[in-house]
Amino acid sequence: MDLVRDVLDKKLVDSEHCEMGRVDGLVMSLEEHSQPRITHIQIGGTTLWMRVHPVLGNLAAKLARKWGPRRAEPVRIPWSRVLTAGRDLKLHVKARETGAIDWEIWIARHIIERIPGGGHEEAE
């Protein structure tokens, strides 16, 4: 498998077919006596903007600390949770428990649901 071609920037889908963003970054562990290996998938604006330019990355980190809906750290999903890597990357997680869709939920509850006809985010 080619990490950049087949993993990076692919769409992430959780075990309930909920779209939970894209692979914004990959975390590798480098230990002295073993091969480098991928440990986590990283999701979130900070990771993403860091790829464009460190200035943007630091700015995004600052904004996330100030106004992020719940946590400032980028969301990390263990590599062992990757089920299949086809057209999309299927993960054995529940999107709302990972924090990857915190913004989606926050906007739904605080803005969209308050507009008539917006429906309810948790309704089936």
Partner 1 sequence: MKKALQIALGIVTSVGGFLEIGSVTTAIQAGAAFGYQLLWALLLGTICLIFLVEMSGRFAAVSKHTIVDATRERFGFPFFFVVLVGMVLVAFMVLVAELGGIGLSLQILTGLGFPWWAIPVSFVVWLLMWKGTFSLIENGVSLLGLVTLSFVVAAVRLHPDWGGVAHGLVPTFPNDQKAKYGFLAVSILGASISPYLMYFYSSGAIEDEWDESYIAVNRAVATLGMSFGGLLSMGVLVTAALALKPNGIHGETFEQAALLMTTAFPKWGLFLFAAAMLVACLGAALEISLAIAYFFAQGFGWSWSQDLVPSKNARFCFTYTIIILVATVPLLLGVDPIKVTMMSMALTAATLPLAIFPFLFLMNDPIYLGEHRNGWVSNSIVAVIIVISFVLALISIPLEIVGG
The contact set with partner 1 (CB under 8 A) reads 4-5, 8-12, 18-22, 24, 48, 51-52, 87, 103-105, 107-108, 111-113, 115, 117-121, 123
Closest CB 83 distance from partner 1, rounded Å: 17
What is the distance between the alpha carbons of residues 33 and 45, in angstroms, rounded to a whole number? 33
Q: With respect to partner 1, which residue has the nearer C-beta, 35 or 67? A: 67
Contact between residue 113 and residue 121 where contact means Cβ atoms under 8 Å apart:
yes
C-beta separation of 7 from 73 below 8 A: no
In the complex, the smallest distance separating the C-beta of residue 93 from partner 1, rounded to whole angstroms, is 15
Q: Position 19: which residue type?
A: E
Q: Dig out the tokens for 121 from the structure.
A: 């985010």
Shortest Cβ 40–partner 1 spacing (Å)? 17
Q: Which is nearer to partner 1, 79 or 103 (CB)?
A: 103
- For partner 1, give the closer residue by CB, 30 or 115: 115
Q: How far apart are CA 22 and CA 121, in angstroms?
A: 21
